[in-house]
Structure 1
Amino acid sequence: MNQRYTINPPIQELTELFKNQRNFDALASSIEEPRVKVHEAISKMAYVYEKVRNAVDYQEEHLIRKNAIKRMLKRRIITKERGTVISEPLIRELIRAGYLKNDYFPEKRIPDIELIVNKYITLINLTVGQYQTLQEKKKNKTFDWIISTAAYEIQEYLSPSIKDDALVESMYKIIRPNLELINEIPNPEDRDVQIYIAIHRALIKSDQAILRYHLIYYYAPEWKYMTPDEIPNFAQKLPELQTRIEHQINNKMSDRLARYMKKFAPLFIILKDVVDQNSDKAEEMLANPQELEKAITKACQKKYALASSKLTRGVFRSIIYIFLTKTIMAFIFELPYELIFLDHIILLPLAINVIFHPVLMALIATSIKVPT
């Protein structure tokens, strides 16, 4: 008789969600409806610009789109545009820059983006815009806090992280009952929040803006569908909510818990890939040791290939960044110095200074090997 594994209820829930989500995605993409489309030639120029910008302004790959939304949104809000004016140009700009697929986003969903943008613009006007007595530094910090949260909410609407959130939930349900380390936190509610924060950081590498978004909806779920008439009351409570959220994010246990969760994160990352790649037969496969081993091996091979590709892209971006900064420094400081004080340019030291560090970075990169 063949051995069979018993599947934990949280894992069963995860497999069911992945299967349903796959069917939903297939159905949504098959519906014929007007979608936002931009000119291909203009898109290529914007795409190249974003690639160069991201090479210079280095950041984690999974945060690039969120940070791009924040940058674009911030620029438009500063110019006093309203959500009705911002939303469609924002979507088009994201498509041109390669952050959304062309001819994919339904036009009928643009008003939903308008509601999100207007909600946050109203909140900004009621906090940063009204309290003139606030110190400039504090006003800027509050503005950035709100914009960062708005950017992630827009990203969540454009591309919901349903699978990542489900994975976080599964990891929480499996680890939480046996986690003794968390008992060092006296408040039971704070314990649960700290576990979620640690899992987010270890498993899906959530930054502070993403954590703030989730904590806002944890403490104030009504914010999601709040009407304009209700926002002033929410704005009055925002400073207290900010303090509460920042206290949780910066809790002294956060880093310690995140380090603990990192020991288990690879298991759940591979689990996600295995279930995602076999969503139609995931439960049957997870219960079968032989099939599960094959699926894990295949998922690991794909993960290593992806890691190798990400490493190559990361090295390339780093080399471009170092080369550009060294070249700029040479033109700003070294060339004027040699022309003013030496009356001529010594090319060899200048060339070495510009080229040496990128070449060294490339040589170091070739020595880094992804596990097989």
Structure 2
Amino acid sequence: AMAASACLWLVFGFSPEEAAGEPGPGPGPWRLEAGPEGISRVWPAWSYVVVETGAGLEVRSAGLRRRLPGWAEALPSETHLVLRGAAAAVAWRREAALGAALQGEPAWSRPLPPEPPWRRPLPLLPGGFATPRPPFFTALPAGVRARRLVLGTEHALALGAAGEVFSWGGGRHGQLGHGQLEAELQPRLVEALAGVPMQAVAAGGWHSASVSGEGQAGLGWAGLGRAGLPWVGRLGTLLAAHGLGGPGCVGVPRAPSAAAGADAAFISIQAFPALLDLPQDLEVSMVSCGSRHTAVVTRGGELYTWGWGKYGQLGHGNNASCDQARRVEHLVAEGLRVEEVVCGPWTTYVRVREH
């Protein structure tokens, strides 16, 4: 049993620390081994995870665990690992990041002011943002004042100083929320959310989400549908959803054929934010998106998940996908309060504490 008031990280889904090659369904939940220093933050990629301990950053993968001294934040991908320190942001190739040491020339580096006044997490940097694949730095337009930025597989979301949401990048699955499937080369205001200040944003593989201010709701666009109807699940008193539909589906919309029958499932896209509800009018405090699943934490410390569940990443004790937001009962039964959730591509990391 956990010591009273102890804090730990639990993991549902595919474990990059254990699997090699083609993964199978991961065990869940399991504890993310913390050691005496504890773990304060995690940054997951598909095949490895970077954690922040009391002794600094540490990269973990199958059969590998080593520290990255001198770095404060990470932005990992399957091709590169971007690290931010006190003096610079540097991108290393994945092979160097997972090798014996960070040796040789990095793929990219950018000096930083000695005392950054913004104090905002990666990928934001002075004057723009970093990405974990080339080009590694992109300037933000002069009129965009972002206080938070998140990167999806093909798109990005910025949270403005007044709670406005900007989106750009690939839009073929409706993940930008502009009501169309076109790409946007520059940040564009999500006009459907104008007048509703947001406090958090999240971007997944082909979907997006945001949580409104004052904990009222989450606004998210994450359309998961069956039988021709977009998923209009239950997700916060004011939660919008858009993006790619179908539990685990990837591709363009296709209608059911006459031979398949009227009940045949097909991919549906929600290209405009749509208002959703959580059961019992619960309030959302944070949201995170995986490649094709979404998780929210309520103000009461409960975790709700939905989407693609092939590797157990939804935490419901099976490998089924789920079209509706569903509470993770294991955490409730164990008397655990959720303080943070971070979705990896096929994994969900949850920081919990005993009530």
| Bigger-Rg structure (1/2) | 1
Q: Hey, which of these two has a bigger chunk of helix by percent?
A: 1
Q: Which has the higher strand share?
A: 2
Structure 1 and Structure 2 fold alike (TM over 0.5): no
Greater RCO, CA 8 A, separation 6+: 1
The TM-score normalised by the length of structure 1 is 0.29
